Amino acid sequence: MDERLEQNLSREGLVLTGGGRRIMAYTIDEVLISLIVLVAFWGEFSTQEDVRVVIETVNSLFWAVIGMKVLYHTIFVYLYGATLGKIFTKCMVVSYDDFSRPTLQGSLVRAVVRIVSETVFYFGFIWAFLNPARQTWHDKMARTIVIDAY
């Protein structure tokens, strides 16, 4: 880990969030987004009687779901420094440099690169386990870290 980051974390009494809590936050967020998609597009799903048609319907909603995920993550990280999953697991996204909440631009970059991290076999998430600052690809690109928020 960057020595300056380590000193700043220590000085402020902050701790990087461990992988288990981040995985739990991710799972909560994915379940919530899935429920939102199900509610938003219930009319399209409920009229289908054939499984093949349901799968085609889901595939046709790909870009809408991506848009909803980017919007969800951008808004929550910008306004609260955390998504609902992170709030529940008591962790928070902060700027790497000064531990402030990410800017709107940083939140958007983080949300978009998060989608890329998922798409490329979750390698962007796995990266956090190999990185001393526990940064995922989306953290690196947005210059953020995830800390415990007790």
Give the chain's end-to-end CA distance (angstroms, integer): 23
Residue 23 lies in a domain: yes
Residue 44 lies in a domain: no
Helix, strand, coil % in the chain, rounded to nearest 5? 65, 5, 25
Mean pLDDT of the chain: 95
pLDDT of 1 over the 90 cut: no
Tokens representing 114 are 């998060």
pLDDT band at 15 (very low <50, low <70, confident <90, very high): very high
Residue 142 lies in a domain: yes
Q: What is the domain extent for residue 71?
A: 3-28+63-148
Residue 42 lies in a domain: no
For range 32-53, the mean pLDDT: 89
Residue 89 lies in a domain: yes
Residue 34 lies in a domain: no
pLDDT of 44 over the 90 cut: no
Residue 8 lies in a domain: yes
Residue 129 lies in a domain: yes
pLDDT band at 150 (very low <50, low <70, confident <90, very high): confident
pLDDT of 118 over the 90 cut: yes
The pLDDT score that the predictor gives to residue 46 is 83
CA atoms within 13 A on the CB side of 43: 1
The pLDDT score that the predictor gives to residue 58 is 87
Distance CA 142, CA 150 (A): 23
State the pTM of this model. 0.93
pLDDT tens digits for 47-74? Answer: 888 889 888 988 999 999 999 999 999 9
pLDDT tens digits for 85-115? Answer: 999 999 999 999 999 999 999 999 999 999 9
How many distinct structural domains can be found in the chain?
1
